[in-house]
């Protein structure tokens, strides 16, 4: 690595600006918990949307994409492209509802939607689990990736890289504790721009290098399957085009996006995505922010990573699928000249710091609002609670140091808990749209997948091992079984337990005004029908579920079309680019018409 003075200067300026933003917005974050954790509920859509995108751009994301490219080419990105379906679903069905709910965290939502003593304890448990343990594990993952990048980029030993990363995390914690979400979101915007510019420059330099010879040279030097956009329908999932048996494809496209819970892609919104929705100025800003997030996340951001990943196959043929991610960092070192090298490394710093700052702020919101304030706070001065929030941020940072050092020990448990979440998503979606969902539905849907996953993986799956192949796993049998098992369990739990109390249901309906199955029986006392009729005639009247469904379907078509249009343009496949561009334009016109039929623009 040859880092010159200009490179170091660029890094120093970036770190200095990040600290300045922390000091600059300190006072605005000190008025109360909504100011500290939700930026005063006053973020414009473009800041909230960019902040979502920046947070999902962790330092290890381009490295992971490079590994996928090495094994399956462009088509391997369907491992995460499929989640676009759920992302657009969240945009139109939940973004405005999260903003309208007027809660500080997604866990506070539990007590405006459900009744019963168990709700308080479930909320406290999730605050500790998500805010402290799981959040610290995510930070540990991100730290481990940044350590790897620094080791490869600078040639440092692990211990040195660890100390550097811990120092960067402490610096991030400083501006996060001072400025709250407002400062985090502002720095996210700066970091996202740097990250995109840096990756685009690297992709441009690398693809036009002598070794690669432009897009035409890249296509000549690599087999044709590397440029396939879509998976193949087969059971051979070794190196080559991403392969999915038909049943696996159906579960991949039709089940996974709504069934499984995953950080940043929670069905129905959740985590830091819900936090950004709740921090938006208006419901319209919330919807637009989430829509921008989906388009930027899936259509704009991946192509520089994909180009670098493909070029790395030419530049570093010695790399294997296991270490292909190193090719991205090696390319940064080998292809970027003085100044630009510092810029790109700063981009990775920005990607790292944006993720860490969000995790610290988001996790602290759970521990402060859902654990400390809910159970121990006796005062009424929220300014003092901001101080508690700042201390909670520091505590999460310290816990994350432990998780970073011992990440290999806890990594397996955390991945197991993510993998065993299939079926939970249905309840997270339906709790907004069906009155009969109660606290026992959600509690059962949280625990049942763990049992279902164990049954599928350890009892059923071994019966399908034949000559080194497992058709149960190949056809996503674990996902489908766990989803079915969980669904049966939570449905049984729902109907054998009492519904949420009439008072809570009426209060929730008047507060959120959701569509769906609420006015189910005019003779019952579950929902006040006079309230429903009044709200349906008010300014809050929405376009209805049918129009919202149409927005979702056309939104999915439009976003995928933009994704493929950009890709075909990059690879100079002009006829296909014209087709996808036409589909994108046509779907946008229909999409705009449908959007005007909803309450989003009112």
| Contact predicate 113/132, CB 8 Å | no
Half-sphere exposure of 289 (CA within 13 A, CB side): 35
Interacting residues of 438 by C-beta distance below 8 A, sequence separation 6+: 114, 115, 116, 494, 497, 498, 499, 500
Portion of the chain with pLDDT greater than 90, in percent: 56
Q: What is the pLDDT of residue 489?
A: 97
Mean pLDDT of 218-245: 83
Give mean pLDDT, residues 288-308: 94
Instruction: Please give the pLDDT value at position 475.
Output: 65
Give the 3-state secondary structure of residue 43. Answer: strand
- Given a cut of 60, is residue 541 above it in pLDDT? no
Which residues are CB-contacts of 108 (< 8 A; sequence separation ≥ 6)? 123, 369, 370
Task: List, as one string, the DSSP characters of 287-309.
Answer: HHHHHHHHHIIIIISHHHHHHHH
Give Dmax over CA atoms of the chain in angstroms: 77
What is the reported pLDDT for 361?
A: 94
In terms of pLDDT, which residue wins out, 445 or 61?
445
Mean pLDDT of 440-465: 91
Question: What is the pLDDT of the chain when averaged over all its residues?
Answer: 87
Q: State the pLDDT at residue 535.
A: 47
pLDDT value of residue 570? 96
pTM above 0.85, yes or no: yes
Rounded alpha-carbon distances, angstroms, from residue 5 to 15, 153, 201: 15, 16, 20
Q: With 90 as the cut, is the pLDDT of residue 371 above it? A: yes
> What would the pLDDT profile of 484-515 be if each residue is shown by its tens digit?
999 999 999 999 999 999 889 989 998 998 88
Q: What is the pLDDT of residue 579?
A: 97
Half-sphere exposure of residue 51: CA atoms within 13 angstroms, side-chain side: 33
Residue 469: pLDDT band (50, 70, 90) is confident
Strands 465-466 and 469-470: antiparallel
Q: pLDDT category, 565, cuts 50, 70, 90?
A: very high
pLDDT tens readout for residues 195-228:
889 899 999 999 999 999 999 999 999 999 999 9
Cβ contact 153:333 at 8 Å: yes
For residues 3-26, average pLDDT: 90
What percentage of the chain reaches a pLDDT higher than 70? 91
The per-residue pLDDT for 307 is 96
Spatial distance between the Cα atoms of 219 and 228, rounded to a whole number of angstroms = 12
- State the Cα–Cα distance between residues 329 and 223, nearest whole angstrom: 24
Give the span between the Cα atoms of 176 and 178, in whole angstroms: 5
Q: Select the highest-mean-pLDDT range: 151-160, 312-321, 574-583.
A: 574-583
Average pLDDT over residues 372-398: 90
Closest among 54, 582, 570, 573 to 303, alpha carbons compared: 570
pLDDT of residue 237: 62
Grouping H, G, I as helix, E, B as strand and the rest as coil, residue 385 is helix
Distance, in Å, from the CA atom of 587 to the CA atom of 549, rounded to the nearest integer, reads 14
Q: Model confidence at 430, in pLDDT bands (50, 70, 90)?
A: very high
Q: Rounded to an integer, what distance in angstroms lies between the CA atom of residue 595 and that of residue 602? A: 10
Region 342-346: what's the mean pLDDT? 89
Domain edges within the chain: 542-602
Residue 528 has pLDDT above 60, yes or no: no
What is the pLDDT averaged over residues 275-290?
94
Stretch (H or E) spanning 466: strand 465-466
Q: Average pLDDT of 103-124?
A: 95
Band of residue 529 on the pLDDT scale cut at 50, 70, 90: low
Instruction: Provide the H-helix boundaries in 25-157.
Output: 33-38, 45-56, 61-72, 78-81, 84-93, 95-101, 109-113, 117-128, 135-154
Distance CA 84, CA 66 (A): 20
* Whole-number pLDDT of residue 410: 57
So what's the pLDDT on residue 219? 95
Phi, psi of 348 (to 5 degrees): -70, -35
């Amino acid at each position: 690595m040859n880092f010159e003075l200009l490179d170091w200067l660029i890094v120093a300026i970036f770190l200095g600006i990040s600290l300045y933003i922390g000091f600059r917005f300190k006072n605005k974050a000190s008025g109360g918990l909504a100011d500290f954790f939700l930026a005063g509920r006053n973020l414009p859509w473009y800041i909230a949307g960019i902040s979502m995108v920046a947070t999902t751009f962790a330092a290890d994301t381009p490295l992971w994409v490079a590994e996928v490219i090495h094994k399956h080419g462009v088509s391997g990105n369907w491992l995460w492209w499929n989640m676009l379906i759920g992302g657009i679903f969240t945009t139109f069905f939940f973004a405005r509802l999260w903003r309208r709910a007027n809660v500080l965290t997604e866990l506070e939502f539990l007590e405006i939607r459900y009744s019963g003593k168990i709700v308080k304890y479930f909320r406290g448990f999730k605050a500790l689990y998500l805010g402290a343990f799981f959040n610290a594990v995510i930070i540990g993952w991100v730290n481990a990736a940044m350590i790897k990048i620094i080791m490869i980029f600078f040639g440092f030993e692990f211990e040195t890289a660890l100390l550097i990363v811990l120092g960067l995390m402490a610096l991030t914690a400083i501006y996060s504790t001072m400025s709250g979400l407002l400062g985090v979101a502002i720095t996210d915007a700066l970091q996202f721009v740097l990250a995109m510019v840096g990756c685009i420059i690297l992709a441009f330099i690398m693809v036009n290098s002598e070794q690669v010879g432009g897009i035409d040279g890249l296509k000549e030097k690599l087999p044709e399957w590397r440029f396939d956009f879509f998976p193949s329908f087969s059971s051979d999932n070794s190196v080559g085009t991403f392969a999915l048996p038909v049943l696996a494809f159906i579960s991949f496209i039709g089940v996974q996006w709504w069934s499984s819970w995953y950080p940043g892609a929670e069905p129905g919104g959740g985590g830091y995505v819900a936090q950004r929705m709740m921090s938006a100025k208006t419901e319209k800003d919330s919807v637009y922010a989430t829509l921008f997030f989906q388009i930027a996340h899936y259509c704009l951001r991946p192509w520089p990573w994909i180009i670098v990943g493909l070029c790395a196959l030419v530049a570093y043929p010695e790399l294997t699928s296991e270490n292909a991610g190193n090719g991205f960092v090696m390319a940064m070192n080998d292809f970027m000249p003085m100044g630009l090298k510092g810029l790109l490394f700063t981009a990775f710093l920005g990607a790292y710091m944006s993720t860490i700052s969000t995790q610290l702020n988001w996790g602290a919101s759970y521990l402060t609002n859902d654990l400390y304030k809910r159970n121990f706070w006796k005062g009424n001065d929220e300014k003092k609670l901001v101080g508690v929030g700042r201390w909670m941020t520091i505590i999460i940072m310290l816990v994350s140091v432990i998780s970073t050092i011992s990440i290999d020990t806890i990594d397996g448990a955390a991945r197991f808990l993510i993998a065993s979440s299939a079926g939970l998503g249905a309840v997270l979606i339906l709790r907004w749209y069906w009155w009969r969902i109660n606290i026992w539905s959600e509690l059962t849907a949280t625990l049942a997948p763990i049992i279902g996953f164990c049954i599928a993986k350890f009892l059923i799956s071994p019966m399908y091992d034949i000559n080194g192949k497992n058709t149960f796993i190949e056809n996503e049998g674990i996902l489908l079984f766990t989803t079915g098992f969980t669904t049966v369990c939570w449905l049984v739990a729902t109907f054998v337990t009492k519904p949420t109390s009439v008072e809570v249901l009426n209060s929730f309906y008047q507060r959120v005004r959701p569509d769906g199955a609420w006015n189910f029986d005019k003779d019952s006392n579950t929902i006040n029908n006079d309230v429903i009729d009044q709200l349906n005639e008010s300014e809050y009247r929405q376009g209805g579920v049918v129009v919202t469904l149409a927005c979702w379907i056309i939104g999915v078509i439009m976003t995928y079309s933009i994704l493929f249009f950009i890709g075909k343009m990059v690879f100079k496949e002009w006829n296909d680019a014209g087709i996808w561009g036409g589909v994108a334009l046509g779907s946008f016109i229909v999409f705009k018409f449908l959007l005007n039929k909803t309450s989003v623009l009112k």
